[in-house]
Structure 1
Amino acid sequence: MVAALGAVPTVLWAAASSAAAGGALDPAAGSGYAEFSNAFTGSAKNVDISRFENGVSVLPGTYNVDIFVNEGRVSRQNMEFRAVEGMKNAQPCFTYAELLQMGVDVGKLDPARINAQNTCIAIGDVSPDATATMDMGELRLNVSIPQASLLKHARGYVSPALWDQGETAFLLGYNFNAYSINQSYSGPRASGGNAIGTDGTPVQVQGSTLYTLGPGGAYVPSATGNYMLSNNGTYVPVQIGSYTPAQAGGYSYNDINAYLGLNLGFNIAGWRVRSVETAQWDQKTGRTNWHNFNTTATHDITQWKAQFTVGDSYTQGIVFDTTPFRGITIYSDDRMLPDSQQGFAPVVRGVANTQARVEVRQNGNLLLETTVAPGPFVINDLYSTGYGGDLTVTVFEADGTMHTFTVPYSAVPMLLRPGVSRWAITDGQVRDTTLRNGMPYFVEGTYQRGINNWLTLYGGVQSTYRDLYHSYLGGAAVNTPIGAFALDVTNSHTTFKGAGGSLSGYSSRLSYSKAIPTSGTTLAVASYRYSNDNFLTLSDAVQTQDQLTSLHSTNWAAPVVLRAKQRIQVTLNQDFGGKYGQLYFNGSRNTYWNGMPDATTYQLGYSNSYRRVNFGITASRTYTSSPAFNGGHYDNQFGLNVSIPLGGPSSRNSPMLSAMVSHDDTMGNNDRVGINGTFGERSQYNYNANVNYTDQGNSNTTASGNLGWQAAYGNLNAGYSYSSHYQQGSVGASGGVVVHGGGITLAPQIDLNSPIAIIEAPDAKGARVSSSGQTRIDGRGYAVATSLMPYRMNDVTLDPASTSMDVELQTTRVQTAPRAGAVVPLKFSTVSGRAALIRAKQPNGDVLPFGAEVIDASGNSVGTVGQGGQMFVRGAEEGGALTVRWGDSDQEQCKVNYQLPPRIKGSAYSMDATTAVCR
C-alpha cells in the first residue's frame, strides 16, 4: 500500500496568470485552470489541481466518517462510497442496519429496494428530498431526511434490530487474595481465663459472659452466647465454637488464609449462563471449602423488553423485600428503554402561539431545547435527574414575546413516567441455606404503572404453595409541589403447619423526597411501620415455621425469629454553594417486637476545600440497649480528615498527603497519617503508605503499605503491615479470561453482567483500548473492551500511539449496541507493511510538484505528493516502483524506483526515510 503524505488543505484559488501566493480569484477565469503558487508548495512550477477547485473530491472508497442526520450526530463508522454515472463525486452506500440506526421508517419504503440484502442503498431511495453531502475536510457526512420518512422515537432510542447478542464464548472473572498473619499479645486476664476460639479469635470467658478482643486491644462483651457486639455497636450472630487455652499471660497466633472468587459465564445462542463460585483455604485446618452462590441462565425477551431467568437468583426487591429463590422469573428490563424513558421525569405540556423555541431548565441547568410548531406541544423524553427539582419551562415565541411556567418534579423510587410500566413474575423455591426442614415454594408478582405526571399506582402479591403465607400490597406514589410521596399497605396472613393457629397483620410504608434548588437542599425520608407483632414478611414466616418444626413446638406465637417493629431512615444533603461546602445527615432507628434491643444511629458530616486543601469533619452516635451494658449504651465517634496534594496544580501523578484523627468511645483515640498516589506513564501503578497510632489497651503504632499494578491483562497488589503485636502480609490478583472464536484473551477485569467486546486488530500489538483503562491489543491481535452499556450505541476506540509504524489502522473507532452480557466481536481493519518516507526529486533537482497524483504498480491511484516532494510508503519490504503524474503529457510524469535499507532488528516502531529520483 502507498499513500501520499499530507491531505489537501482549504485551497486559495488563482487564475493561470496569477503568480503570487494567495492571489485573488479572477472571475473571468471561470472554472478553468486552478493552481497553487510555487511559493506555497515549494515546487519549481505551478501545478494543475483543478480537480479540487470545487472542494476536495470524494473518490470511490471507504472512509471513516461522522454521520449527522438533520444536524444530530448518529455515529462514527466506515462508510463505502461508490461512483455514480453522471455525478462528479462518489456517493455513499447505506446498509439496511445504518438506515435503522439513523431512525428511518423503513416500513414506508419500497421493500424491493430497501431490504436487509441490499448493501448499497442510495439516499434517494429513502426520499426524493433526502440528501447526503460529504465534507472531506471534517470527514463528516451530513444527511438530511424529511421528518415524514423518520420514525418518532424518544431521545436515546436504539432500534432492537441493532441489538447484538454476540458470539459463543466462555468467560471467567477471578479474584485471588492470600493473607498471612502473625499475632502475639500479653494482656489482662479475666477471672474465667483467656482462650482462643477454633477460628483463631482471642476471647475471655467470665461466668456465662463471653468477651472478644477488639482491634484496639480491649475485650468487648457479647450479649449472649449467640450474639456479639460488633465495632459499630450493633449485634451480629457469632459462633465461636470450642476454646483452647491460651499460653499464660497472653497468646500467639499464626495462620495463612487464601481466597479465590470465580465468576463463570457461558454465552450461546442468546443464552447467558452465569455462576459464582468461591474457595477458601486455611493453613491451620488444611481444608479447602468450595461454595456456589448461584447459577442462572438468562435470555432476552425483546418483544416484551424483558428478561427470562432460570436458576438461583433474587426477586426484584422494589415492591416487596428481596427474596433469594431457585426457580424462574420474568421481569421488565428498564435498560431496554431509551435513556429518556428510564427513571421518572414529568411530561411537559404547553401551548405555543407561533413557531417557538422551548427551553426546559432545572436548577438553572438547561435540560432540553427544542422547536415546536404553533399549537399544543408535548415533551415526554426528558432525562431523569435523581431526586429532581421543579422544572422551569420558557416558551420563546417568534414575535419576540415569551411566557414561563413551572412543572413540579420530585422523585421517589416508586414513581414512573406516564405510560411506563414495570413488572415481575417469579415462581420458585425459597433459597435459604439456614433452613433445616425444607424450603417452601412460592410465587410473587408485582406491577407498577405511571398514570400521569403526579400519580403512579403499584401493587403485588406473594404466596407460598401450601398456605403457609400470603401477602397483598397496594400503594401509590404522588408527585406534588411540596415533594414526592409514596405510601403502601401490606397485609400478611401466616398459617403454621401443625400449630393450630395463624397470624394476620398489616404493615405500612411511607417515603418522601424533596429537592429545593434555591437552598441546595435534598431531603429523603423512608418510614416502615408494622401494625402489630402478627405481621410477618415471607422470610420471617419461612424461618419461624422452620424453627417451630425443629423444636417440635405448637406454640406458634413463640418469638423465635427477630421481627422488626418500626424502621425510619432520614437522609439530608445540604449544598451551601461555592466556597461554603456541603453538609450531610443520615439517621436510622430500628425497633423490634420480640425483645431484641433497639438500634439507633446518627451520622453528621461536613466537607469543604480551601485552595487545594480538602477537609472533612464527621460525627456519629450509636445507641444500643442490652443487658450486657445494664441498659442503654452510647457509642460516640468523631473524626477530622485532611488531604493535601503534593506538587503544583499542573504536576502529573502528584502524591496526596492525608491525615486523620478520630475518637471512638469504645475503641479510643486513633491517629493516622499517610501518603498515596500513582506513577508510571499511564498511572498504571498505585501506592499508599500509612502510620497509625491508637491509645486503646496497650498503646500501639502500626505501619502499613500497599503497592498495586493495573496491567494490560490483569491487576496485581501486595501489602504489608507491622506493629509490636502483629505482622501481616497479603498478595492479590484479579482479572478476566475470555475464550472466543479467535482463541483465549486476557482482560484486567470482567463484569459478567455487562456486555464486553472482543476487539480484533491484526498486527496492532500495543494499541490501547481508550475506553478500558490499561487494556492493550495483545500479540495475537486481540483485546477485551469493557464498560459497555447494554442496548445503547457504544463507541469503542483504539489509540495506535504504541503500535508499530509498520501497521496502519484503517479505522480507530467502531460502534456496537450489545445486549446485556453479550460478547460482541469487533473487527478493526489494519494494513501491515514496512513504513517509509520517500523524498523524491526530479533529475534536475526540482522537487516533485505538490498535489501530483501517485499511482502504484497495479495502476491504482493511491494519493498525492505532499509538500517538498514527500510520499509515505507502506507495504514494500525492500523497495518498489511508483508513478507520479501531474499532467497528461509524457513530460508531466515520471517513475520513482526506491530501495529501502536493511531492517535493523527491533526497529519496527520506527519509520525508515530515504531519497529517490523520479525519472
Structure 2
Amino acid sequence: MSPAAVFAAPVAPAASPALEPAIDPGAIEFNSAFTGSSQSVDVSRFEKGNPVLPGSYNVDVYVNDGRVARKDVTFRAVDGSQIAQPCFDYPTLVQMGVDVSALDTQVVNVQNPCIGIKDISADATALMNVGDLRLDVSIPQESLKRQARGYVSPELWDQGETAFLLGYNFNAYSLDQSYSGPSVTGGTAVGTDGSQVRVQGTQYYVPGPGGNYVPSSTGTYMLTSAGQYVPVERGTYAPAQSGYSNNDINAYLGLNLGLNVAGWRLRSQETAQWDQRTGQTHWTNLNTTATHDITQWKAQLTIGDSYTQGVVFDTTAFRGVTLYSDDRMLPDSQQGYAPTVRGTANTQARVEVRQNGNLLYQTTVAPGPFVINDLYATGYGGDLAVNVFEADGSVHSFVVPYSAVPMLLRPGVDRWAITDGQVLNDSLHSDKPYFVEGTYQRGINNWLTLYAGVQSTYRDLYHAYLGGAAVNTSLGAFALDITNSHTTFKGADQSLSGYSYRVSWSKAIATSGTTFALASYRYSNGNYLSLSDAVVTQDMLSSERAGILDASGIMRQKQRLNVTVNQDFGGKYGQLFFNGSYNSYWNGMQNATTYQLGYNNTWKRVSFGVTASRTYTAGPMFNGSRYDNQFGLNITVPLGGPSARNAPQLSFSGTHDDVMGNNDRVGVTGTFGKNSEFNYGGNATYSDYGNSGSGSSQTTASGSLGWQAPYANLNGSYSYSSNYQQASVSAAGGVMVHGGGITLSPSLDLNSPIAIIHAPDAKGARVSSSGQTTVDGRGYAVATNLMPYRMNDVTLDPAGTSSDVELQTTRLQTAPRAGAVIPLTFNTVSGRAVMISAKQPNGEPLPFGADVLDEKGNTVGMVGQGGQLFVRGAEDGGTLLVRWGDDEAKQCKVSYQLPARAKGSSAQVESTDAVCR
C-alpha cells in the first residue's frame, strides 16, 4: 500500500454516468498483526491492490507511453467499483492530442468538466499508479490527431499577464597605469575620443605593452577605447614629463526594457558608456520594438527598430514594420543562431562584442580562455567584432563570422519575411532611404528547397533580385543562389549593375565523427553592391566625404570564404577543429585572411588543448601589411577526488604572439557554498614583451570573486603588477513588476518566456530550473529558461522552506508564447506540523485506516500504523474526530495541545501523545 493512500485527504464528488468501472488488479489480503490494531476496520478498499480513491491528484499523464503533462486530474467514484476513474476536461484532451473534432460534441465539449475515457474511444483505457502519481492513458491511433512529433496545440499557448520587465548588466572597470622610465620627447596630441598621445616630430607614440610608449603605426592613427583606429588631431603641445601615469575608469550599463500588455511585447535595448577621462556618457538605443504573435500564420509582427532576418539577404538594420514566419511555432521535428564567441585574455580584461558598430555586449573576463555563449540573436548575418582591452593597455581584436547556413527545409515547410522600413545607420550624413524586402523559402521534397528574395529602395537608388536552391545529396547539403543588383547614384550620373554568386555546403560523417561546414563562399563581380554598400556609397557621394566623387573608387568585396571543420576522434582521442576565413576586395584593397587550428582532449581527469592561429591584416594603421601568428597551450587539472564537492581546478596556459610576445599563466578556480553559489579565481601571469619592440617583461597577480545570489549575479576582480593596478565590479540581474508586486531575478532574458511563481509562505524554496533562484519572503520567484510554444516543466525544491509549509505540488506545466510572462501558483498549506501518537482509553492503538476529520468535518487523512496521525495547520492545538464506523462506539475525539513556540526558534515537526476519548 502506498503512503499516498494512507495520508491523502480527498473529498468524493458525485458519480458520473460517463465513467465505467475498470478491471480491478489482483486481490490482496491484510493481516491485522501488521496494522497494529485488533479492531474491525473496513479495509476492503485496499484489497484491490493500489486503489484510487475519489478526489484530485497531481499526476504525470502519459499517452501511449509518452509523457504529455503534469497536472491535476479529478477522479470520481463509479458504481460497482472500488476504483475511481479519471475525469478529463476539454483542454486536457487537446493536450493529449485527441482528435476532438471526430467525437460526439454532446459529450466532448468545453462545458463538460468530466469527460470519461470511454467517451474518447471504446478501446481507450486509463490506469492510475497512486504510488508513482502516474496516469497511463492508452488511446487508439485512429482517435489521435496526426501531428508531428513535438507538436503543442496553439490552443494551449499562453500569452500570460501584463508585466514590466527590466534586465540589466553593469560593469565598471578601473585602470591605474604608471611608468617611471624616460618618456618620448616632444608634445602631446589628443585623439578624437580624448585619449592622450605623445608626439615626436611627425611620429605619434601610444602607451604599449609593459608601460612603454610604442610607435602608433604611421603616426596618423590611434586606437580608441572603442577599439577603432581614428585620425589624431594635433593639439597644443606641452613638454613631456619623465614617465607617465594614466588613470581611467570606464563604466558600462546595458538595459533591456520590456512591457507585456494585451499580447503585445514592447522591448527596448539601451546601452550607456561613461569614461572618466572624457567625463562623457554616451547613451545608445540599439532597438525599440513592439511584437505580437500572428497565430494562424505562425508568424510574428514587429514594429519599430529591428533587423531583417538575414537568412536570404544580409541583415539590414531598419525602422519600420516586418512580418515573418517563426520557426519556433513549428514542432521540434520540423524546425530547422547567435554564434559562440571564444578567445583568450592575457590579463583581467574588458571584452566588447560589436555588430555593425553597435555594442551588443561587454563583460570582464579573467586571464586565460573565455567563452561568451549568451548573446542575443540579431539575425543570421553580420560578423561580430570582438575587442579585448587588456589591463596593461594593449588591445587585440578578432572577428567571429556570422553567416547564413544552408537553406534546406522539410517538405511542405515554408519560411518567409516581409519588411518595409527605413535603413538605420548612425554613420550616414544624408537622408536614410526607405526600402522593402521580401524573402520566401519552400521545402519542395526531401532533397530540394527553393528560395527567392527582392530588395528595393523607394527611389531608384537600389534594386536586387535573388534566386536559389538548396539540395540534400549523399555528398552533403548544398545551397546555391545568384543575386543581381542595380544601383543608380543620385548626383553622380553613374549606374552599376552586377552579380554575386554564393554557395553553401555542410556535411556530417557519422562514421568518422567529422563535420564540415562551408558556411559561405561568395564571389561578386566589380559592379555588384549590397544594399548596405549602396546606401553608404550614396551617402559619401552626397556629402563628398573622403574626396570620393566617383563610385568606381569605393571599396567592394570580391570574394568571401568561411570554413569550419570539426573532427571528433571519439573516446580518448579527442577533438580537432579548424576555422578559417578569407576576404578579397576590388580596387586594390589588401586581402584579409585568418584561420585557427585547435585540438582538445582529456587524459584521465586532466583536460588539455592546443591552438594555433594566423591572421593577415593590412592598412595604414599596420604600417602596410603583416602576418600575426599565435600559438597556445592550456591544461586543466582538478584538485580533489572524482566525488569531491566544490573541488578547485588548477590551470596552466602559455601563449606566443608574434606582436605581443609570450604570456604564461597559472591559475586556480573553484566554487564554495551550500549550493556552490560562490565562485573564485586566482591567477599569476608572466609576460615577456621582447617581440613587441619594448624589450620588457612583467609579472601580474589577479583574483576574482563572484556570488550567484538568489536575486542577482555579483562579481569583483583585482589585478596588480609593477606598472598598473586594475579593478572591476559587475552586477547582472532582472526586475519584474507584475500583479503581485516587484520580484527580483538573477537573470532575465526578455526574448524568452518567463514564469512568475507564487508559492505562499514557501520562502527559500528553490526554483530547480533557474540556478540559485529562490522564493522570496512574499512567496514569489522568477523562473527562466523556458522554451516558447513548448510544454515546460517548472519545479520547486521545498528543501529550503520551513517545516510549517507543505507544497501540495512541486511541479507545474505551461506552454508559453514567446516573451510571455506566465503566472504559476503552487498551492501550499501552512501551519505547525505535529505527529500525534494516539491511543484508545484502554491503551490500544487506534484502528489502522480509520478516517481522521478536523473540527469543520473535512477529511484530513487516515490513521497510520501504530495509531500515528500527522496533522498540519492547527497552531497551538485542536480537536480531531477519528471514525472507523457509523456507531458512536466506533468514533472518538483526539484533543491535543502544543507548547507556545519560542520567539525566533526555527520551525520543525513536533510530536505529542494523546488519548482518543
* TM-score bucket of the superposed structures, by smaller chain: 0.7 to 0.9
Kindly provide the amino acid, as one letter, of the partner of residue 729 in structure 2. V
1:690-769 → structure 2 map (5 Å cutoff): 690-696=683-689, 697=694, 698-769=696-767
Which residue of structure 2 aligns with residue 169 of structure 1?
A: 163
Identical residues among aligned pairs (%):
70
Please point out which of 681, 684, 687 is paired with 1:688: 681
Q: Is the 8 A contact 1:736 1:750 kept in 2?
A: yes
Which residue of structure 1 aligns with residue 19 of structure 2?
A: none
Structure 1 position 88, deviation (Å):
3.1
Which residue of structure 2 aligns with residue 620 of structure 1?
A: 613
Structure 1 position 229, deviation (Å):
7.7
Q: Is the 8 A contact 1:261 1:279 kept in 2?
A: yes
Q: Report whether the alignment pairs 1:238 with 2:224.
A: no
Alignment deviations for residues 303-343 of structure 1 (CA, whole Å, 9 cap, x no partner): 11000000000001111110000000000000000001111
Alignment deviations for residues 251-270 of structure 1 (CA, whole Å, 9 cap, x no partner): 21222232222110001110
Q: Secondary structure at the match of 2:534?
A: helix
For residues 770 and 601 of structure 2, the distance between their equivalents in structure 1, rounded to whole angstroms, comes to 32
For residues 892 and 805 of structure 1, the distance between their equivalents in structure 2, rounded to whole angstroms, comes to 33
For residues 311 and 530 of structure 1, the distance between their equivalents in structure 2, rounded to whole angstroms, comes to 33
Which residue of structure 2 aligns with residue 865 of structure 1?
A: 863
1:225-264 → structure 2 map (5 Å cutoff): 236-238=228-230, 240=232, 245=238, 247-264=240-257
Q: Secondary structure at the match of 2:463?
A: strand
Kindly provide the amino acid, as one letter, of the partner of residue 176 in structure 1. F
For residues 608 and 905 of structure 1, the distance between their equivalents in structure 2, rounded to whole angstroms, comes to 57
Alignment deviations for residues 636-666 of structure 1 (CA, whole Å, 9 cap, x no partner): 1111110001111000111111111111010
Q: Is the 8 A contact 1:793 1:817 kept in 2?
A: yes
For residues 452 and 180 of structure 2, the distance between their equivalents in structure 1, rounded to whole angstroms, comes to 60
Please point out which of 455, 459, 475 is paired with 1:466: 459
For residues 324 and 777 of structure 2, the distance between their equivalents in structure 1, rounded to whole angstroms, comes to 42
Structure 1 position 577, deviation (Å):
1.4
Kindly provide the amino acid, as one letter, of the partner of residue 164 in structure 2. F
Q: Is the 8 A contact 1:227 1:236 kept in 2?
A: no
Which residue of structure 1 aligns with residue 87 of structure 2?
A: 93
Q: Secondary structure at the match of 1:549?
A: helix
For residues 859 and 881 of structure 2, the distance between their equivalents in structure 1, rounded to whole angstroms, comes to 9
Distance 1:904 1:229, change over 3 A: closer
Please point out which of 20, 30, 36 is paired with 1:35: 30
For residues 586 and 33 of structure 1, the distance between their equivalents in structure 2, rounded to whole angstroms, comes to 67
Q: Report whether the alignment pairs 1:849 with 2:862.
A: no
Q: Secondary structure at the match of 2:537?
A: helix
Distance 1:169 1:767, change over 3 A: same
Kindly provide the amino acid, as one letter, of the partner of residue 842 in structure 1. Q
Structure 1 position 552, deviation (Å):
8.0
Alignment deviations for residues 111-169 of structure 1 (CA, whole Å, 9 cap, x no partner): 33322233222223323333322221221112222222211100100000000001111
Structure 1 position 33, deviation (Å):
10
Structure 1 position 193, deviation (Å):
5.2
Structure 1 position 765, deviation (Å):
1.0
Which residue of structure 2 aligns with residue 482 of structure 1?
A: 475
Which residue of structure 1 aligns with residue 273 of structure 2?
A: 280
Q: Is the 8 A contact 2:32 2:38 kept in 1?
A: no
Q: Is the 8 A contact 2:439 2:453 kept in 1?
A: yes
Alignment deviations for residues 822-852 of structure 1 (CA, whole Å, 9 cap, x no partner): 0111111111111111111223333333333
Structure 1 position 533, deviation (Å):
2.0
Give the paired residue count: 827
1:242-641 → structure 2 map (5 Å cutoff): 245=238, 247-343=240-336, 413-551=406-544, 557-558=550-551, 561-626=554-619, 632-641=625-634
Q: Is the 8 A contact 1:267 1:822 kept in 2?
A: yes
Distance 1:866 1:561, change over 3 A: farther
Which residue of structure 2 aligns with residue 819 of structure 1?
A: 817
Q: Is the 8 A contact 1:693 1:700 kept in 2?
A: yes
Q: Secondary structure at the match of 1:544?
A: helix
Please point out which of 51, 57, 68 is paired with 1:74: 68
Q: Report whether the alignment pairs 1:840 with 2:838.
A: yes
Distance 1:461 1:214, change over 3 A: farther
Kindly provide the amino acid, as one letter, of the partner of residue 286 in structure 2. F
Distance 1:62 1:663, change over 3 A: same
Q: Is the 8 A contact 1:794 1:815 kept in 2?
A: yes
Kindly provide the amino acid, as one letter, of the partner of residue 455 in structure 2. Q
Kindly provide the amino acid, as one letter, of the partner of residue 800 in structure 2. S
Q: Report whether the alignment pairs 1:831 with 2:846.
A: no
Q: Report whether the alignment pairs 1:655 with 2:648.
A: yes
1:154-165 → structure 2 map (5 Å cutoff): 154-165=148-159
Structure 1 position 895, deviation (Å):
2.1
Distance 1:792 1:221, change over 3 A: farther
For residues 799 and 295 of structure 1, the distance between their equivalents in structure 2, rounded to whole angstroms, comes to 37
Please identify, of 467-476 and 626-635, the stretch whose mean Cα deviation from structure 2 is larger.
Answer: 626-635
Distance 1:463 1:225, change over 3 A: farther
Alignment deviations for residues 588-633 of structure 1 (CA, whole Å, 9 cap, x no partner): 1111113332111121111111111111111111122446666541
Kindly provide the amino acid, as one letter, of the partner of residue 795 in structure 2. T
Which residue of structure 1 aligns with residue 385 of structure 2?
A: none
Q: Is the 8 A contact 2:229 2:621 kept in 1?
A: no
Structure 1 position 764, deviation (Å):
1.0
Q: Is the 8 A contact 1:226 1:237 kept in 2?
A: no
TM-score (norm 1): 0.86
Distance 1:433 1:200, change over 3 A: closer
Which residue of structure 2 aligns with residue 397 of structure 1?
A: none
Which residue of structure 2 aligns with residue 136 of structure 1?
A: 130
Please identify, of 450-459 and 792-801, the stretch whose mean Cα deviation from structure 2 is larger.
Answer: 450-459
Structure 1 position 703, deviation (Å):
1.2
Structure 1 position 859, deviation (Å):
3.1
Distance 1:526 1:69, change over 3 A: closer
For residues 877 and 242 of structure 1, the distance between their equivalents in structure 2, rounded to whole angstroms, comes to 80
Q: Report whether the alignment pairs 1:664 with 2:657.
A: yes
Aligned Cα root-mean-square deviation (Å): 2.7
For residues 33 and 582 of structure 1, the distance between their equivalents in structure 2, rounded to whole angstroms, comes to 58
Structure 1 position 797, deviation (Å):
0.6
For residues 45 and 114 of structure 1, the distance between their equivalents in structure 2, rounded to whole angstroms, comes to 46
Gaps of 5+ in 1: 10-29, 345-410
Q: Secondary structure at the match of 1:320?
A: coil
Q: Is the 8 A contact 2:184 2:213 kept in 1?
A: no
Distance 1:106 1:635, change over 3 A: same
Q: Report whether the alignment pairs 1:642 with 2:635.
A: yes
Distance 1:198 1:627, change over 3 A: closer
Q: Is the 8 A contact 2:264 2:292 kept in 1?
A: yes
Structure 1 position 735, deviation (Å):
0.8
Gaps of 5+ in 2: 8-24, 338-403
Q: Secondary structure at the match of 1:238?
A: strand
Alignment deviations for residues 247-298 of structure 1 (CA, whole Å, 9 cap, x no partner): 4233212222322221100011100000012222333443333221111000
Structure 1 position 190, deviation (Å):
4.9
Q: Is the 8 A contact 2:75 2:87 kept in 1?
A: yes
For residues 549 and 450 of structure 2, the distance between their equivalents in structure 1, rounded to whole angstroms, comes to 35
Distance 1:210 1:420, change over 3 A: farther
For residues 562 and 428 of structure 1, the distance between their equivalents in structure 2, rounded to whole angstroms, comes to 26
Which residue of structure 2 aligns with residue 116 of structure 1?
A: 110
Q: Is the 8 A contact 1:626 1:633 kept in 2?
A: no
Kindly provide the amino acid, as one letter, of the partner of residue 261 in structure 2. I
Q: Secondary structure at the match of 1:316?
A: coil
Structure 1 position 489, deviation (Å):
1.0
Q: Is the 8 A contact 1:200 1:253 kept in 2?
A: no
Distance 1:318 1:183, change over 3 A: same
Kindly provide the amino acid, as one letter, of the partner of residue 882 in structure 2. V
Structure 1 position 683, deviation (Å):
0.8
Structure 1 position 524, deviation (Å):
1.5
